[in-house]
Amino acid sequence: MKLARRVEQLPPYLFAAISRLIEEKRDAGVDVVSFGIGDPDLPTPQHILDSLAAASTEPANHRYPESDGLPELRRSIARWYERRHGVVLDPDGEIVPLIGSKEGIGHLPLCLIDEGDVSLITDPGYPVYEVATMFAGGESVKLPLREEDGWLPRLDEIPGDVAARARILWLNYPNNPTGAIAGSDFFERAVQWARDHDAVIAHDLAYADVTYDGYVAPSILEVEGASDVAIEFNSLSKTFNMTGWRVAMAVGNRDVIDALTRVKSNLDSGIPQAIQEMAITALDGPMDAVDGRNGIYARRRDRMVEVLREMGLRVDPPKAALYIWAALPEGERSSADFAARLIDATGVVVTPGVSYGQAGEGYVRLSLTIADERLEEGLARLSTFARGG
């Protein structure tokens, strides 16, 4: 069968490849400990689940939802942004709920990219920005991130001809996979850059509320005038351990939100309403479960950093996001070889940095979303490996 070029061009989805590797090892009888995928192991808080149970019996929730979401959910998102970031949003123009932020990220280039237009994508980075750009007929130009720059892109080094064709600048802080954070000074420079080049910033704030040691992650919309040029993706997935429920939002520039709403209304029929009710409960409710969960991740982070250093990897404890980003020991060149050797010798899965882009070579990523006893099992095996056992 002849498939479309856009499908033929698809790289294998990173996590699908990892899942396959894990499957093969398990089939061979290996007790695999995976630090691979960033999917919260802790359950959705009970009060949020209770609201789903109540909403599920409401007949109105058995019917098609509106693709722009319940007005009550848009208002709840507006309250959340005001409370959490001091950002005032119009629920009827600056907010659209999403079926997970991946859905919105996937659809955004259809709103902004014509054949030959450019998306600027940070490397290493979440793979969906590039694939979604390709689906829309656009070209991705990579902005390499470097450890010495705190994993922030050098906007002033973007060549003039590329900047002239750029329609979207994708940013993601707290960052996957590096765990890097960005301050409002960086966001101010990015907003100015987007203004100067008539581009749209798509800021992916998926890890807004997975933070440690008192760090508070800013929204790009906190920058004066940012909503002239920026939209932001935010998600309940990581904040409230709700990856399975698929609920998120895009907020910010009215024209872009309107375009995204129109594209979506032609492709999907919105988020099941009972799940929108869960989102309202989550956003308007108490944050103690989130704070407690972040304490658990921070403890795991510290344990992992200790063992990785023992193995000779260089690692700074991240202030946010779900990942440890560790530089390979002296003399190791290939993150894929290192990860393959680890899984063969120990049954422990880490993700090679190069899977997130060429600039990720030399690093591996480990996720904090692994139950404590499995984490300890994995770390014990890594310690033994480090001692040559």
3-class secondary-structure state, position 202: strand
Least separation in angstroms between CB 323 and ligand PLP: 9
- For residue 211, list its beta bridge partners: 320
Least separation in angstroms between CB 44 and ligand PLP: 13
Interface residue with ligand PLP, options 38, 69, 138, 360 (CB under 6 A): 38
User: For residue 198, what is the DSSP state?
Assistant: T
Of 64-72, 100-108, 274-282, 307-315, the segment contacting ligand PLP by CB under 6 A is 100-108
Indicate whether 351 belongs to the interface with ligand PLP (CB under 6 A): no
Distance CA 169, CA 292 (A): 34
Reported as half-sphere exposure (CB side, CA atoms, 13 A), residue 148 has a value of 0
Quote the radius of gyration of the chain (alpha carbons, Å). Answer: 21
Amino acid at 388: G
> CB-wise, 85 or 246, nearer to ligand PLP?
246
Indicate whether 40 belongs to the interface with ligand PLP (CB under 6 A): no
> CB-wise, 145 or 382, nearer to ligand PLP?
145
Span 247-306, contacts to ligand PLP by CB under 6 A:
248
Distance CA 321, CA 171 (A): 14
Least separation in angstroms between CB 244 and ligand PLP: 9
Site size toward ligand PLP (CB under 6 A) is 13
> CB-wise, 39 or 66, nearer to ligand PLP?
39
Residue 232 phi/psi, 5-degree rounding, is -130, 135
Q: By rule CB under 6 A, what string of x and - marks binding of each residue 213-242 to ligand PLP? A: ----------------------x-x-----
Contact 94, 75 (CB under 8 A): no
The structure tokens listed for 116 are: 């030959």
Of 71-79, 95-103, 137-145, 270-278, the segment contacting ligand PLP by CB under 6 A is 95-103
Q: By rule CB under 6 A, what string of x and - marks binding of each residue 147-186 to ligand PLP? A: -------------------------x---x----------
Query: Exposed, middle or buried: residue 248 (CB in 10 Å: 0-12, 13-18, 19+)?
Result: buried
Contact 70, 270 (CB under 8 A): no
User: Do the strands 139-144 and 166-171 form a parallel or antiparallel pair, or are they unpaired?
Assistant: unpaired
> CB-wise, 94 or 204, nearer to ligand PLP?
204
From residue 314, alpha-carbon distances to 263, 281, 305, 308 in Å are 44, 41, 9, 8
User: For residue 200, what is the DSSP state?
Assistant: E
Indicate whether 206 belongs to the interface with ligand PLP (CB under 6 A): yes
3-class secondary-structure state, position 364: strand
Least separation in angstroms between CB 370 and ligand PLP: 15
Interface residue with ligand PLP, options 65, 100, 272, 353 (CB under 6 A): 100
Interface residue with ligand PLP, options 74, 85, 102, 381 (CB under 6 A): 102
Least separation in angstroms between CB 217 and ligand PLP: 13
Question: Which residues lie near ligand PLP (CB under 6 A)?
Answer: 38, 100-102, 126, 172, 176, 204, 206, 235, 237, 243, 248
